[in-house]
Every structure is written in structure tokens, then in C-alpha cells.
């Protein structure tokens, strides 16, 4: 007699009834083998933990801002993940396909107190052997989460490849257009310029504002401006016999020359050279000094700079806004770099000196006075220019303003979309993902993604990243660690990428320290190394996170590793704004104020102990956060 018939006879039921019940409960055969018993026990543990977390957080797979930690998904049940770094969760693990369809994700909600209408009971196909807790009901059910995760990962690769290909094409188009403009005669450039100017004046500039056309307008006006003014300015410098500093044009890199060209247009040749030399020779730069950041933003054509009055007054006004955190200076800095297709300049992680008694402080004061002097060479040159030359400058400013506004608007929409996805339940994310996937499946040649705009592609990247994070949490990929909510509108955007690379616990610790008032990413090489690794920078030779932070920090201090260029590329790849910066000028004012209100010292020994304790509390090294527990 067959084993199923024997089991049916022992249970006093028919064979047909036993098979139907086995099918309802997801049992392949009865009696099961020892391997199947272990698998069923593992699945039940996962289901119970999922239901326990949903009961405590009301909606299991939702990150809620009202709670400090939104408990997402269950703990164990997931096998060890194979990854490139010893703590990264980015790579796909080897899954057991037999378990792919044996359980589902449930979202439960509270039953309204005055609810009189009947709601559908939990059926056997909804995993009825684990009903929802008392007072709760099943809201949504997502089946086969492991299969969905595989599909999400495949779709994510295609979307990211499409986004990176578009960025490469955009940069190539800009380079090709500049090269093409350089080969044209001045008469041909002038004809194209007159056509652009006429359309702008007649308000027929809708076609010009398109991505490909606006690049052409900008490149033509830049080339025409360079031929009219930059050659004349260089001749004036030779005639005046001005001494060149150590970091002259001959010693500059191509990237620094690209900066000087943009700075010269907005500030003039003298201020552009002076600003670049200050960055390379002085300890103050745009990453640690609010005045320098204000000057650089003004030189890149930032709309926050008030250019109506004197240059020194506009810089002072913008500097106060930066120090008071009225504007997110680093986010504006990153946006201006993207608008001009520039890479971030190096940061030497040196502590600025403002004491005029020291040689460096005295030098800084002298050079800053030259930079902020009211002598405006552009205003003087404007009197000698013809109407044509002024029109060329006006058209170039118009083209730059269109590009800057477009980047600003797109970044704002991405930030809003990301926050919406963070608040969505997993069923809402899954619905949006299914809609996008259906459109993609209808065009196997990939035309559906190509038909999307750049903004829509960026939104798709954010959607699949959030969806993947939620599924990984539910499937126990983070070893039972729960997802979290930072409570900060700025740092919430970093949760997904940091959690993927560091895990929820380490990511939460890093972002908690970042929200401390005295913490500054750009002041310490250790903090910058932690952020770089969290964003995905890793080397195979590193055996642990602590080793990676120490090695990377040492290379930053010695100048072997350019942290800013790498972090700029990683932030652009992950579509994130630059992290906030606490500028040193604000800290100096705070320390002076605290020193003036401090109590007199009575005993030398006790005061030294208190000072060392305060220093230990203030200087928190991120690498100590990630020690093995």
C-alpha cells in the first residue's frame, strides 16, 4: 500500500481528502521527508516573525515617521549572503528555489471599532494556518517575495544601465559640441548666435530649452565669448607684466582650467586666478570656510548670490546665510557642479588659521582683501564693450540659467519622490513596480525605458532601490535587524544606500552621529572615509570596515586619495545631495562665546580632567561605531 494511503487510513480520512488538505497547507506529500520538515519549520519561523513585527508596527513593511524604528519584515530564515565586502548586502545570494513559493508577505491593519461590514476571512491560500493577531485583519498579501526580489534586481540593473548610459551620452554630447564649435569660423558662430538671440527676444525659445538645443546655445555663446574676451584679457595680463603665482595656468590641470573659465565669466580673470590660487596654496577652501564657499558659489553663477551691489557685500550676505544654515550650501555646490559638468576640487583636510599673528593667517587676510576689493574689472570693461559683446554675455547667462534651473527643479522632484517612497507601504511600492514592469515587458528590446524622460528614469531607480530594501528586510537578509527612520528630512535620503552597504544597525549609528550638532563630515578624514564606504566605495584588499576606514583615512591625509572627486561621483551615481557642512567659522564664534562666559579655573588638575572628558565626548570617531559586537 502507498504511504499516502497508509497515512489516510491512520488519520481516518480518505486519500482524496488528505491530498486536498496537504495542498491547502502547502505540503507536497504526507508523511514528509526529514528535509521537508526542516524547511517547513524554517518557513513557519519566518511567518511568525513577520506577523509579530506587523502587529507591533501596525503595518509591517512601512517606514513610519511617528516611530523611532519602523519594524520591517522578519528576522531569521535568510541564509548567509555572499557579498564583495564582509558587511555589504548589495550582492545577490544563492537562494533555495524550493522555498520560493512556500510563504507570502502579509500586511495587517487594525479592525475599525465601528466596523459592521464583513471583510473576507483569511483563506487557505493566504496561509490560513497563521491567522492575524486579535483585533487585526489582513490588508494585503504579496506572494513569492523571493521571486519578486530576483525580478526587482534584474529590473534594477537594466534601469541603472540606462541611467548611466544617458549620463555618458550627455557628457559626450557636450564635449563633441564644444569641439565642433571650436572648428567653426567666427562668421558661422555669429550667424548661429544671431538666430538664437532672435528666438529668445521673440519668446520663441521653447525649442531652445530642450536638452540638446540648450547645450548648443551654451557652447556657441561660450566659444564666441572666449574668442572676444579671453584672448584680450590674456594680452592685457602680458602687457601689465603681473607676476604669476606658483599655481599659474601652466601648472593647472584641465579640470582646474575648466573652473577658471567659468569663474572668469562671472567674476573676471583676476578674481578667478586669485580664487584658484587660494584654494591650492592656503588652508582655507570651500569645504571649511564659509567666505570661500560664498566666493565659489558666486563664481559658478549661483542664483543665491546678490550681484546687484558690490561684490564684497554680496559675498558677506551669502556667507551669513551659509553660516546660519539658511541655505544648504553643499547641496547648492553639488548642483552647480552638475550644471557645469565639473568634478569636485580636492580637499586637504587642514585646519584653517585665522590668527593674523601667524604667517598663514596674515597671508589669508591679505589675499582675502584683494579678492573682496571693490575694484570690479568686469564693470570697467563693460563700458568699453560694444552692444554685440554685451548680447553675447546675455545669451550665455540665459543658457546657464536655464540649465541651472532645470537641474534644481529635477533635484527637488527627486527629493520629494524619495520621501514619498520612504513613506509608502510595500504593497503600494509593489503596485508601482508592477505597472513599470508591465510596460517594460511589452517592449523586450528596451524601448520602454528609452521612451522615459531622464527624470522618470531617476524616479525608477529610486523606486526599485526602496522596493529591494523592503523585500530584503522581510526575507531576513539583514540578520533580523529592523529598518529605521532618521527623523531628518535631509539624512532620510541616505538610508537606503547606507543600509545596503553597511546594514541597518551601522547605518543608523552613522546617521545618528551625523545629526549631532558638533559633527562635520568635512572636518575629519575618518568621517569622510566612513561615508565613502557607506556609499559603496570598497577595495578587495580590505578585510574589515575598520581596516578600510584606517587605510582610506591615511591616504586622504597624505594626499594619495582624492576624497571629494570620488564622493562626488558616488553621490551622482546614487542621485543624492551632498551632505550638510558645519563650517568652521560658526564653530569659532561658538567657542569664543563659550570662553567668554566660562567660570574661573580653581584647580589645575580637575580642570584638565574635565577638558579631556569634554574632548572625548565631542570627538566621536565613526570607526569606533562599527566595532564587532
Grid-cell match 548642483, residue found: 335
Q: Specify which residues 104 forms β-bridges with.
A: 143
Yes or no: say if 303 and 366 are a contact pair by the CB < 8 Å rule.
no
pLDDT digit string, tens, across residues 318-351: 999 998 888 899 999 999 999 999 999 999 888 8
Question: Looking at residue 33, what is its pLDDT?
Answer: 55
Yes or no: say if 71 and 150 are a contact pair by the CB < 8 Å rule.
no
Q: How many CB atoms lie within 10 A of CB 173?
A: 15
Please choose, from the candidates 343, 416, 379, 434, the residue with its C-alpha nearest in 3D space to the C-alpha of residue 148.
Answer: 434
Percent helix, strand and coil across the chain, each to the nearest 5: 60, 0, 35
Res. 569 pLDDT band, cuts 50 70 90? very high
Question: Looking at residue 625, what is its pLDDT?
Answer: 45
Question: Looking at residue 135, what is its pLDDT?
Answer: 55
CA 519 to chain centroid, in Å, comes to 19
pLDDT digit string, tens, across residues 480-537: 788 888 887 789 999 999 999 999 999 999 999 888 877 888 988 999 999 999 999 9
Question: Looking at residue 67, what is its pLDDT?
Answer: 36
Tell me the three state secondary structure of residue 137.
Answer: strand
Question: Looking at residue 621, what is its pLDDT?
Answer: 44
What average pLDDT does the segment 159-164 reach? 91
Which residues have a Cβ under 8 Å from the Cβ of 137 and sit 6 or more positions away?
108, 109, 110, 111, 119
What average pLDDT does the segment 422-438 reach? 88
Question: Looking at residue 317, what is its pLDDT?
Answer: 93
Q: How many CB atoms lie within 10 A of CB 91?
A: 12
Tell me the three state secondary structure of residue 629.
Answer: coil
Long-range contacts of residues 282-287, Cβ cutoff 8 Å, at least 24 apart: 282/360, 282/363, 282/364, 282/367, 283/348, 283/350, 283/351, 283/352, 283/353, 283/360, 283/364, 284/352, 284/364, 285/345, 285/347, 285/348, 286/333, 286/345, 287/347, 287/522, 287/564, 287/581
Would the pLDDT of 51 be above 70? no
Which residues have a Cβ under 8 Å from the Cβ of 236 and sit 6 or more positions away?
none
* DSSP-derived secondary structure for 523-555: T-HHHHHHHHHHTT---TT--SHHHHHHHHHHH
Question: Looking at residue 442, what is its pLDDT?
Answer: 79
Residue 116 φ then ψ, to 5°: -105, -20
Q: Maximum Cα–Cα distance for the chain, whole Å?
A: 109
pLDDT digit string, tens, across residues 449-494: 888 899 999 999 999 999 999 988 888 888 878 888 888 778 999 9
Question: Looking at residue 28, what is its pLDDT?
Answer: 56
For residue 531 the three cell numbers come to 561615508
Would the pLDDT of 551 be above 60? yes
Which residues have a Cβ under 8 Å from the Cβ of 501 and sit 6 or more positions away?
85, 87, 88, 89, 90, 507, 533, 534, 535, 536, 538
What average pLDDT does the segment 2-12 reach? 66
Q: How many CB atoms lie within 10 A of CB 418?
A: 22
Q: How many CB atoms lie within 10 A of CB 304?
A: 17
Tell me the three state secondary structure of residue 159.
Answer: helix
pLDDT-wise least confident of 51-65, 79-93, 356-370:
51-65
**Alpha-carbon span 580 to 374, nearest angstrom:** 31
* DSSP-derived secondary structure for 352-367: P---TTSHHHHHHHHH
Helices 584-596 and 290-299 cross at an angle (nearest 10°) of 150
Question: Looking at residue 332, what is its pLDDT?
Answer: 93
Would the pLDDT of 112 be above 90? no
For residue 315 the three cell numbers come to 559675498
Tell me the three state secondary structure of residue 136.
Answer: strand
For residue 186 the three cell numbers come to 567666427
**Three-state secondary structure readout of 62-120:** CCCCCCCCCCCCCCCCCCCCCCCCCCCCCCCCCCCHHHCCCCEEEEEEECCCCCCCCCC
Amino acid at each position: 500500500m502507498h504511504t499516502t494511503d497508509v497515512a489516510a487510513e491512520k488519520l481516518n480520512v480518505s486519500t482524496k481528502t488528505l491530498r486536498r488538505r496537504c495542498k491547502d497547507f502547502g505540503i507536497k506529500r504526507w508523511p514528509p521527508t526529514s528535509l521537508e520538515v526542516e524547511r517547513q519549520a524554517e518557513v513557519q519561523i519566518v511567518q511568525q516573525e513577520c506577523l509579530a513585527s506587523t502587529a507591533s508596527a501596525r503595518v509591517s513593511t512601512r517606514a513610519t515617521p511617528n516611530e523611532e524604528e519602523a519594524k520591517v519584515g522578519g528576522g531569521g530564515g535568510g541564509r548567509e549572503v555572499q557579498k564583495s565586502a564582509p558587511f555589504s548586502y548589495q550582492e545577490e545570494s544563492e537562494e533555495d528555489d524550493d522555498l520560493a513559493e512556500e510563504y507570502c508577505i502579509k500586511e495587517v491593519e487594525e479592525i475599525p471599532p465601528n466596523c459592521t461590514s464583513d471583510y473576507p476571512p483569511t483563506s487557505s491560500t493566504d496561509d490560513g494556518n497563521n491567522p492575524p493577531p486579535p483585533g487585526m485583519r489582513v490588508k494585503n498579501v504579496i506572494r513569492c517575495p523571493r521571486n519578486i526580489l530576483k525580478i526587482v534586481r534584474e529590473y534594477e540593473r537594466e534601469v541603472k544601465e540606462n541611467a548611466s548610459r544617458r549620463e555618458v551620452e550627455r557628457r559626450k554630447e557636450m564635449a563633441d559640441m564644444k569641439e565642433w564649435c571650436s572648428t567653426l569660423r567666427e562668421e558661422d558662430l555669429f550667424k548661429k548666435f544671431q538666430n538664437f538671440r532672435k528666438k529668445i527676444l521673440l519668446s520663441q525659445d521653447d525649442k531652445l530649452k530642450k536638452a540638446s538645443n540648450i547645450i548648443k546655445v551654451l557652447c556657441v555663446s561660450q566659444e564666441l565669448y572666449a574668442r572676444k574676451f579671453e584672448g584680450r584679457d590674456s594680452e592685457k595680463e602680458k602687457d601689465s607684466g603681473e607676476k604669476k603665482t606658483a599655481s599659474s595656468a601652466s601648472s593647472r590641470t584641465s579640470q582646474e582650467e575648466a573652473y577658471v573659465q567659468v569663474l572668469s565669466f562671472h567674476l573676471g580673470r583676476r578674481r578667478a586666478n586669485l580664487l584658484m590660487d587660494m584654494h591650492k596654496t592656503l588652508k582655507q577652501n570651500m569645504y571649511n570656510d564659509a567666505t570661500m564657499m560664498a566666493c565659489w558659489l558666486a563664481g559658478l553663477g549661483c542664483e543665491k548670490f546678490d550681484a546687484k551691489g558690490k561684490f564684497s557685500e554680496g559675498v558677506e550676505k551669502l556667507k551669513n546665510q551659509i553660516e546660519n544654515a539658511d541655505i544648504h550650501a553643499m547641496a547648492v555646490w553639488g548642483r552647480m557642479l552638475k550644471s557645469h559638468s565639473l568634478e569636485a576640487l580636492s580637499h586637504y583636510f587642514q585646519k584653517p588659521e585665522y590668527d593674523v599673528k601667524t604667517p598663514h593667517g596674515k597671508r589669508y587676510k591679505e589675499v582675502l582683501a584683494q579678492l573682496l576689493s571693490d575694484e570690479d574689472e568686469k564693470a570697467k570693461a563693460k563700458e568699453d564693450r560694444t552692444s554685440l559683446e554685451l548680447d553675447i554675455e546675455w545669451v550665455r547667462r540665459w543658457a546657464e540659467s536655464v540649465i541651472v534651473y532645470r537641474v534644481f527643479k529635477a533635484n527637488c522632484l527627486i527629493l520629494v519622490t524619495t520621501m514619498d517612497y520612504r513613506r509608502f507601504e510595500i504593497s503600494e511600492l509593489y503596485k508601482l513596480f508592477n505597472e513599470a514592469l508591465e510596460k517594460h515587458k511589452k517592449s523586450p528590446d528596451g524601448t520602454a525605458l528609452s521612451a522615459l524622460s531622464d527624470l522618470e528614469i531617476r524616479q525608477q531607480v529610486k523606486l526599485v532601490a526602496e522596493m529591494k530594501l523592503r523585500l530584503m528586510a522581510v526575507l531576513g537578509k539583514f540578520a533580523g535587524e529592523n529598518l529605521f527612520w532618521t527623523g531628518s528630512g535631509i539624512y532620510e535620503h541616505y538610508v537606503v544606500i547606507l543600509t545596503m552597504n553597511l546594514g541597518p544597525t551601522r547605518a543608523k549609528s552613522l546617521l545618528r552621529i551625523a545629526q549631532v550638532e558638533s559633527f562635520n563630515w568635512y572636518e575629519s578624514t575618518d568621517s569622510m572615509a566612513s561615508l565613502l564606504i557607506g556609499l559603496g566605495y570598497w577595495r578587495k584588499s580590505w578585510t574589515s570596515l575598520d581596516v578600510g576606514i584606517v587605510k582610506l583615512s591615511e591616504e586622504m591625509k597624505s594626499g594619495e586619495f582624492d576624497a571629494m572627486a570620488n564622493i562626488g561621483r558616488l553621490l551622482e551615481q546614487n542621485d543624492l545631495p551632498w551632505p550638510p557642512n558645519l563650517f568652521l567659522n560658526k564653530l569659532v564664534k561658538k567657542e569664543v562665546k563659550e570662553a567668554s562666559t566660562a567660570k574661573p579655573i580653581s584647580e589645575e588638575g580637575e580642570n584638565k580632567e574635565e577638558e579631556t572628558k569634554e574632548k572625548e565626548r565631542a570627538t566621536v570617531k565613526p570607526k569606533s561605531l562599527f566595532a564587532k559586537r
